[in-house]
Structure 1
Amino acid sequence: MNRKKTARLVAALAMSAALVSACATDRGGDAVTGVTGGGGSGDSQASASSGSFGTLDSPCGDGEAKGATDQGITDTEIRIGYGDDRGYAQSPGLNKEMSDAVSAMIDWCNEQGGINGRTIVGTDYDAALTQANTVMQEACRSEFMMVGHGFAMDQTAEQTRVACNMAAVPGFTVSPEAANGPMTYQGVPFPVDYGNAAAWFQMAQTHPDLKNDFDLVGSTMPTIITSLAKSRSMAEAAGFKLKDCGVTLNYQGEPSYVPFAEKYKQCGVKGLWTSRSPVPNEFNFFKAVEQVGIDPIILGEATWYGNAAQQFNKESGLLDNLNAGMTFQMLEHADSVPAVGKYVELVSAKGGKTALLGMQATSSFLLWATAAKECGSDLTRQCMVNELADIHEWDGGGLHAPTDPGKNMPAECGLTVSLKGAEYTQAYPADKGEFECAAEYVVKTDPSTWGTDLGPDRISTKFLGPNVIKPQD
């Protein structure tokens, strides 16, 4: 394979991995235009002074915890690792919002006294996409845990992580081995065997006439193919009978998208679901859709909530039918949702980037800190696994819909945002900042889409060994 083709392949893998993390974590890509720091509502400001994060009492504060109880723990310090892929040359700053968030949260926590009096010392790792295993090897030598991180190629580091018993509370996971990995708990879980189908159920309520007129935008990228298989099962659970127009787009792009758009037109499509990302090739596809004279409702992952889609639509208006499903609150609600206001305030004060993945990392940091507080002086990885496994209702202080980190189960809730011009608004439910919830929104996925074997505890068996830390009563 020549160098240019290899570079294109790696870039495509980066895009695809980021997309999968988007599906998993409501990644919003870039910061949403118009969301700036400095505040939020009066309620948000009150939360800053009261030592809380939204509805969550701060887990940080003074105390008398003592003892070198585990690697990275001393009488005075707790060492944690975090990070992203910001150094990837093909996409500079990739997921930088995650490190910005964790850095801000470490400072916020330490200003209150740390965790039971121990200061948090963070190591900010840059996996630069291809160096995730190198990062994990380094972390295994010094860190107590990994917290709030997100590496697009985490499959390359998972064996190393499990082998050194590096317990983790990641901001997102991509590979199936990591998504259902041992010693892993997330603020917003995205396991391989269950998915949140709220977007499809809500589309069925807002556009019941389209249940027989939707199709999926196909791709040659393996991870997107897997994502689309899961999307199909979720759509069917919501009552959709999807068309099969036979359209598959090359992930590296097409010379012309008009023939593919024509095929959708001939198929009678009135709605399109995309598991792809808002990138130039995708925008060219929607230009072709407009050229052939169809104007479908567009439904996509939360990755479509971000600056790239905003800017494209501001100039073209071709995404005015765009809808995106989310389990997070919108950044535009920072003035009315205290947790979002607090997140924006803390990150913006440090000159950081605000985006959905940043809120994801923030939720995971708070989850970790909440468990660490409960461990007190007995701060060990075993205690952390015990405490994390016992947390079954979590919303990051109001950043997102409630999840069950202890059981690695996604939210039963969701909301839908829509785009008009350059402005995102909440389209469903009608009340700003509210989610709609139903048990049926959590759909069990087909084992053929899992990508890994799961044990009876729903943990990936691929890298399990006899010394893996498991929850104890």
Structure 2
Amino acid sequence: METPNVKPKKTAKLVAALALSAALVSACASDRGGDAGVPSSGSGSGGSASASASDAKFGTLDSPCGKGDAKGSTDQGVSDTEIKIGYGDDRGFAQSPGLNKEMSDAVSAMIDWCNQQGGINGRKVVGTDYDAAMTNANTVMQEACGSQFMMVGNGFAMDQTAEQTRVACNLAAVPGFTVSPDAANGPMTYQGVPFPVDYANAAAWFQMGQMHPDLKNDFDLVGSTMPTIVTSLAKTRSMAEAAGFKLKDCGVTLNYQGEPSYVPFAEKYKQCGVKGLWTSRSPVPAEFNFFKAVQQVGIDPIIFGEATWYGNAAQQFNKDSGVLDNLNADMTFQMLENADKVPAVKKYQDLVSAKGGKTALLGMQSTSSFLLWATAAKECGSDLTRQCMVDELSKIHKWDAGGLHAVTDPGANIPAKCGLMVSLKGDKFTQAFPSTAGEFECNDKYLIKTDPGTWGTALGPDRISSKYMNPNVIKPKA
């Protein structure tokens, strides 16, 4: 999702759509979890605790961390004893303090977990925790370019401002999420949960079709004046159509900054005969007011949205109002409520909670990317170079981070072909589809190609953004 060029004063109401919606990645952020503060872990020190037998696994994944005899100052940030990686979020953004801090909390905890086992082949992982504070992503990247081996598990809402710098200094990356098209399909970039511009996981719409087959002609999309949402809705429409939906076109467009009254817009949906509404917005007060108006005019549609709706904000609003009792949100990650059924989720929660960190979906997303990075780094052994990392990462075509999420293809930058649906009743989320908690439903047809008109960037024959490409870019060796 490309971030609009806005002044800092106007970004307060745009935060969720900039970073947390990230257009259709089902793993996208939720505010679920604890709010306890966590101390900065810039050193990545593993402490004095010894590794237990359970540390040898992360869910179903054999731990990539452990003792070894890897040697050599093979690349920037790599020595006989250390590997320096950068990570971070936008927690210092003044209008939304703590934004995405669950990402740094997760990477910090994973660094400690890894170092307690002996690091990567015996090299200690040393992390530098960066705060891009929304508008300082390029400054962060400039600093990282001069010292870090790679960026790992990071997520910066305005990553488009830093992408040219990253590519120019050959700073390979395994980010927790990307936002801009050039970063999503950027060179030397691999993600645990890919979100390329040219492919999309349409599982949510196919699943909604199975849950409500009689409503395939009765859904409409909630329009918006925000450019990023306009682009997102174009992709959403193509996914819905691929799943057999014939969407209505009620002609409703909401001002992203809010409306004096949402009743006229709700009335228009009522006159249009809508029985289901998809929103690309996040659970913010303006959106709550809109759905209040929908209820006030006497319609009770199925509400359908992205994983951003799986969060405390929606729970708290619905606890007393009941307005969102028809809410459904699509997910590529396991629910936190499934920790008793999914060992990887419990492992994530235990590691982060032990450090007083915040647990949430974006934290799991960073965890997945850290594990992906560590898995490739282990394979490189003493030959730990960015070239080796790009080579090894490009070979990983089946990845679920030990069960944290549906299987993806990081090496080819292809999203999952699976999903699950959660629903809200009062302040409780439950898995609505498939019926067995902890299971995903998968199908090859859920992966669809998107319209090039929605990409926001030009891709080369290798599906990599050509905008900042240069002769020195590291590419996988054949």
TM-score band, normalised by shorter chain: over 0.9
- Write the letter of the residue equivalent to 1:202: Q
1:301 aligns with 2:302: no
- Write the letter of the residue equivalent to 2:280: S
| 2:181–2:196 Cα contact (<8 Å) kept | yes
> Quick one: distance in 1 between partners of 2:92 and 2:55?
37
Note the C-alpha offset of 1:272.
0.1
SS in 2 for 1:406: coil
1:23 aligns with 2:28: no
Note the C-alpha offset of 1:21.
2.5
| 1:48–1:342 Cα contact (<8 Å) kept | no
- What is the root-mean-square deviation in Å for CA atoms of aligned residues? 1.6
- Write the letter of the residue equivalent to 1:129: M
> Quick one: distance in 2 between partners of 1:89 and 1:48?
43
| 2:55–2:117 Cα contact (<8 Å) kept | no
Matches within 5 A, 1:6-405: 6-21=7-22, 23-24=24-25, 26-32=27-33, 49-405=54-410
Note the C-alpha offset of 1:51.
1.2
> Quick one: distance in 1 between partners of 2:118 and 2:23?
34
SS in 1 for 2:411: helix
> Quick one: distance in 1 between partners of 2:118 and 2:261?
58
Note the C-alpha offset of 1:269.
0.2
- Against the structure 1 CA distance between its residues 280 and 349, is the aligned structure 2 distance closer, same or farther, given a 3 Å change threshold? same
Note the C-alpha offset of 1:34.
12
Note the C-alpha offset of 1:15.
2.8
> Quick one: distance in 2 between partners of 1:13 and 1:423?
27
Note the C-alpha offset of 1:16.
2.0
Note the C-alpha offset of 1:12.
3.6
Matched with 1:422 is 427
SS in 2 for 1:464: coil
- Write the letter of the residue equivalent to 2:434: P
> Quick one: distance in 1 between partners of 2:29 and 2:320?
20
> Quick one: distance in 2 between partners of 1:217 and 1:458?
31
| 1:22–1:302 Cα contact (<8 Å) kept | no
> Quick one: distance in 2 between partners of 1:167 and 1:24?
22
- Against the structure 1 CA distance between its residues 48 and 54, is the aligned structure 2 distance closer, same or farther, given a 3 Å change threshold? farther
Task: Write out the 4+ residue segments of structure 1 that deviate beyond 3 Å after TM superposition.
Answer: 5-8, 32-35
Note the C-alpha offset of 1:263.
0.5
Q: Normalising by the residue count of structure 2, what TM-score does the alignment of the two structures yield?
A: 0.94
- Against the structure 1 CA distance between its residues 375 and 129, is the aligned structure 2 distance closer, same or farther, given a 3 Å change threshold? same
Note the C-alpha offset of 1:50.
5.0
Note the C-alpha offset of 1:337.
0.3
SS in 2 for 1:383: helix
- Write the letter of the residue equivalent to 1:281: A
> Quick one: distance in 1 between partners of 2:462 and 2:79?
33
> Quick one: distance in 2 between partners of 1:22 and 1:396?
22
| 2:176–2:192 Cα contact (<8 Å) kept | yes
Matched with 1:42 is none
> Quick one: distance in 2 between partners of 1:141 and 1:34?
33
> Quick one: distance in 2 between partners of 1:47 and 1:267?
61
> Quick one: distance in 2 between partners of 1:136 and 1:241?
44
| Identical columns (%) | 80
Q: Normalising by the residue count of structure 1, what TM-score does the alignment of the two structures yield?
A: 0.95
Note the C-alpha offset of 1:315.
1.9
5+ residue gaps, structure 2: 1-5, 37-50
Matched with 2:47 is none
> Quick one: distance in 2 between partners of 1:160 and 1:270?
47
> Quick one: distance in 2 between partners of 1:25 and 1:430?
18
SS in 2 for 1:74: coil
- Write the letter of the residue equivalent to 1:24: V
Matched with 1:39 is none
SS in 1 for 2:91: coil
| 1:201–1:441 Cα contact (<8 Å) kept | yes
- Write the letter of the residue equivalent to 1:419: L
Name the count of aligned residue pairs: 459
Note the C-alpha offset of 1:10.
2.1
| 1:80–1:123 Cα contact (<8 Å) kept | yes
| 2:278–2:303 Cα contact (<8 Å) kept | yes
